[in-house]
Amino acid sequence: MSNRKFDKIIVVDLEATCWEPREEQGDQPSEVIEIGLCVLDTKTLDISRKTSYIIRPKYSKISEFCTELTGHTWDSVKTGMPFGDACNKVAKKFGTKNRVWASWGDYDRIHVQEECEAKGAKYPFGISHINLAAMFNIFMGLTSGGVSVENALKKLGMEFDGRQHRADDDAYNTARVFRALIEDARQADWNVGADIAMGRE
């Protein structure tokens, strides 16, 4: 617990095999086909190391809906690495075991846990996870409903940069939302400090 580092947040997004309508899925499990990551420096708020790992699904195929949503085809993922290898690369390259990581909602955290258990892979992340969708709702005073990363950016006066549902672009834009929330919080704290200093509290 004491060796956790807070200087950088690892922002993560997953893409997985999917079907619409769901009846097309049959007995195929939803498997991760792409892990996207980037790093948010908590001091400078720079976003760096935007990375994507393509993963070859073992028990499922790429549906037309999945291709339409993510841009991935069977040809683009069949040469990808096994899921367990991708988890090992993430842990080694990003030091995720000892760092706080974040994703938009809880889906990514739960899915990685379940797929690691199903495939006997080593879970690549530490115990400290930030649900940025929930954080955004709290910061913005929203009491119900899910907000997409794209809509969160619009509420903050920004546009989505890149292609939606590509994991590295989604991770990068999620980090942009997180950065904006941190900047607002720090500015608010600075204003409170200034009020106290000037006797205006």
**107 contact partners, CB below 8 Å, separation of at least 6:** 14
Structural domains in the chain, CATH included, are: 5-197 (3.30.420.10)
Proportion of the chain above pLDDT 90, given as a percent: 87
The pLDDT assigned to 193 comes to 44
Euclidean distance between the first and the last CA atom of the chain, given in angstroms as a whole number:
37
> What pTM did the predictor assign?
0.92
Residue with tokens 């950088």: 8
CB 124 within 8 A of CB 96: yes
Is residue 194 over pLDDT 70?
no
Provide the pairing of β-strand 5-16 with 99-103.
Answer: parallel
pLDDT in tens, 140-149: 999 877 899 9
